[in-house]
Structure 1
């Protein structure tokens, strides 16, 4: 870490907190694959391109495959938009190429332009309940949400629905200002088996990358989802 040379006191405390205290906190630990999946999604969500570039080689050494890395970045398009996602896709391609990975990777799509709406509605209903089968009819943005967000991305291979809900939670938590959506996706996570304790562990492990205000807001949203 270059900061050891330029900012040694800061680097000492950062490393102790993020890479010792936090990851070793009793009852707040995650398996390496889940940990790095959450951290990558969180860094994308907060716009931390430089930190993402530092972290992705470690992620690739701890169970994150090239396909998983790409799927995390692709799905960020729905929650951050192309404008904020693109730098992370460029960095990911750069790191994969440096590691001798041939691009493009194998395709992961399971829908076509003809059935993406239908399959997206199915994914929404599986996560949030049967009432979602009618939600797409509320307007064109709701239709886009079903066809594009869920039909184009959630249906892809590489990550299952519980993992996709987890990274969505991280995108929303990290960018802030999305509390209504964060509450909804905290509930979606719980429906997929990612319970309150698990989500609190995710917040805890991602706190060094997004700070206390957004982390505390995320805990509040988790509690509100439980209440609902």
Structure 2
């Protein structure tokens, strides 16, 4: 009986082992199929962004190029409902905020290839000035100018300013209040006398001079601001403020998470996770 039992037990173990191997093969096959699907998606998205573009990294560092492409153009672009133009424009804003001229020029190629207008290309740069400062933007203006001239675009472009020295404060305040409501009045009232000028500068310069320009609407500008701030790092207070601003103008939590996911490969995990923390603090999940 003992030998018979051992024989039966041995046969049972063999069946279990075979079943386990079959299951492992199925799982492995599914993983391989998922990886192949992701690689195919990544290649398609990359080609849509950069039709005919030849990257030197593919020749010099093919492994890194493949890892980045599969993640940045495969996995992360599977998340959210951002269209290709919005993804490119917001990624462009991120490269500006981080002041990366070579990557910025590459994004210009994607923008031009996907019907993003010269006015929109320039406006992303202009929008960034009050957040990252003119010195960082000035160099990238030159990069953009060289690129646009190569594409046959005549510069300067048509002017977009709709305010003057008499109206910039008033119009800037209008936009601020349309985004942040009576919080702006509270900031003015609570500002010490020797700091009140910062509030006026924000209204007249940041919002009046720049955000009144009609190239982008307020919803897109808030996404641009959010993208710039999370790409800079060390701006959590401002990120939280503009998370709320985005909500106020109609950009919901899923949209902000989609933008953050899109920018993850470009800004890294620390800044991404900080952004997610800010989003969750201002827009907590409903229990």
Aligned pair partner of 2:73 in 19, 27, 36: 19
Aligned pair partner of 1:176 in 233, 236, 239: 233
Distance of 1:158 and 1:180 partners within structure 2: 27
Distance of 1:73 and 1:79 partners within structure 2: 11
Q: Does 1:7 align with 2:61?
A: yes
Within-5 A mapping of 1:1-228: 1-23=55-77, 25=78, 27-133=79-185, 135-136=187-188, 138=191, 139-227=196-284
Aligned-pair distance for 1:130? 2.8
Aligned-pair distance for 1:63? 3.4
What runs of 5+ residues in structure 1 fail to find an aligned partner?
none
| DSSP 3-state at the match of 1:22 | helix
Distance of 1:159 and 1:101 partners within structure 2: 20
Q: What is the aligned-residue RMSD (CA, Å)?
A: 1.3
Aligned-pair distance for 1:207? 0.7
**More divergent stretch after superposition (213-222 vs 42-51):** 42-51
Aligned-pair distance for 1:43? 0.9
Distance of 1:169 and 1:63 partners within structure 2: 23
Aligned-pair distance for 1:175? 0.5
Q: Which has the larger radius of gyration?
A: 2
| DSSP 3-state at the match of 2:166 | coil
Aligned-pair distance for 1:135? 3.5
What runs of 5+ residues in structure 2 fail to find an aligned partner?
1-54
Distance of 2:283 and 2:105 partners within structure 1: 35
Distance of 2:144 and 2:187 partners within structure 1: 34
Is the Cα contact below 8 Å between 1:121 and 1:133 reproduced in 2?
A: no
Distance of 2:228 and 2:103 partners within structure 1: 15
Distance of 1:12 and 1:33 partners within structure 2: 23
Aligned-pair distance for 1:72? 0.6
Q: How many residues align?
A: 225
Aligned-pair distance for 1:21? 2.3
Distance of 1:196 and 1:156 partners within structure 2: 26
| DSSP 3-state at the match of 2:178 | helix
Distance of 1:8 and 1:35 partners within structure 2: 24
Is the Cα contact below 8 Å between 1:168 and 1:185 reproduced in 2?
A: yes
Judging changes above 3 Å, is the alpha-carbon distance between structure 1 residues 136 and 117 closer, same or farther for their aligned structure 2 residues?
Answer: farther
Distance of 2:81 and 2:65 partners within structure 1: 22
Distance of 2:188 and 2:105 partners within structure 1: 37
Distance of 2:167 and 2:138 partners within structure 1: 27
Detail structure 1 runs of 4+ shifted over 6 Å in the superposition: none
| DSSP 3-state at the match of 2:283 | helix
Distance of 2:115 and 2:254 partners within structure 1: 23
Is the Cα contact below 8 Å between 1:136 and 1:145 reproduced in 2?
A: no
Distance of 2:245 and 2:213 partners within structure 1: 18
